[in-house]
Each structure stands twice: as structure tokens, then as C-alpha cells.
Amino acid sequence: MIARDHENPYRASAALATLARVALASGDIAKAGLLWGSAESVLTSGRNRFGLGEYGGDLLTQVDPTFASARQRGGELELWDVVAIALGELELPQTEP
């Protein structure tokens, strides 16, 4: 992932948001929540010039408890650890609904 190589957290977060939407469409609720939680924490950090709707789409309306728990966990993890999870370099942590 080029964003990781360049240590660009905004670009990495945009990529994670896209992957979260793909995971949600594929039915992988926990992965979608984890990726979105991490992306959201960076994208709301104040230096982002786009609204969350630009990246989140249908992720913004998710109320599934598994998604919510994974979203919270994603926001607590280091961004680059979540990037490694998205790239398959680390295991997806278990989350409770």
C-alpha cells in the first residue's frame, strides 16, 4: 500500500474506508467495523477536508452490534496495525457484539 510506504495517514484511511465498504457489501460485518473505526478516527481528526459521507457512505448508518463493537475497537488500534490487518499481514482481532 503506497500510503503506508509514504506514511500518509489520510490516504491510508481513505483506502481503509473503501475496503470497509467492500467488507460490508461482502457481509463481513466485523471487518467492516474494524476498518471503518480506524479510518473514521483519522478522517475526523480535523485536518481532513472531506466529510465522512465522502468516505463512509452506508457505513455511517450501520447499527449492527458487531459492527459497533468492531468500529470502537478499530478506533482504538494504531492505524498502521489496521492497515496490516487489511493487507492480511495481521489477524483480525475478535470483537464482542
**Does 91 map to a domain?**
no
- Summarize pLDDT for 6-25 with one digit per residue, the tens: 678 888 999 999 999 999 99
SS (H, E, C) the chain: CHHHHCCCHHHHHHHHHHHHHHHHHCCCHHHHHHHHHHHHHHHCCCCCCCCHHHHHHHHHHCCCHHHHHHHHHHHHCCHHHHHHHHCCCCCCCCCCC
**Does 93 map to a domain?**
no
Question: What is the predicted pLDDT for the residue at 93?
Answer: 74
Domain count, the chain: 1
Mean pLDDT calculated for residue range 34-43: 93
> What's the domain range around 49?
2-86
